[in-house]
Amino acid sequence: MLNSKQRAYLRGLANQIETILIVGKGEINENIITQADNALTARELIKCRVLENSSYTAREACDIIAEKCRADGVQVIGSKFVLYRRNEDKPVIELPKVKKK
């Protein structure tokens, strides 16, 4: 679970990356889940887009893919959304630390 500072940090990183996963008019099937899972393993942070003719909203697609890939939804804006999942073997992104009270 991400806190607000970590989420803000990831949103900043996501501004610079290209969209690599597109959800079209078909269902969110195993192929899309596999692509997202592989991309999250390699990059940790991915940007996705939902086409206008899709039966899903960006929020719905984000929630479905995040749940199936065990990822966190970072941001949903318009037709785009960003997912994050830490790679436990080779972490690429160093998140800001959580301050304890």
Amino acid 65 reads I
Query: Position of tokens 């990183």?
Result: 13
Residue with more model confidence, 101 or 82: 82
Nearest to 30 by CA among 42, 40, 38: 38
Annotated domain spans of the chain: 4-84
Average pLDDT, the chain: 92
Q: What is the pTM assigned to this prediction?
A: 0.91
Residue 96: per-residue pLDDT: 85
DSSP strands (E only) in the chain: 19-23, 45-50, 72-77, 80-84
Residue 2: per-residue pLDDT: 87
Is CATH 1.20.140.10 what the domain over 4-84 is classified as, yes or no?
Answer: no
- Rounded Cα distance between 28 and 88, Å, is 26
Residue 35: per-residue pLDDT: 95
Enumerate residues 6+ apart whose C-beta is below 8 A from 44: 84, 85, 86, 87, 91, 92, 93
- Rounded Cα distance between 34 and 16, Å, is 24
pLDDT at 101 over 70: no
Tell me the per-residue pLDDT of 45-80, one tens digit each, with 9 for 90 and over. 999 999 999 999 999 999 999 999 999 999 999 999
pLDDT band at 11 (very low <50, low <70, confident <90, very high): very high
Query: To the nearest whole percent, how much of the chain has pLDDT over 70?
Result: 97
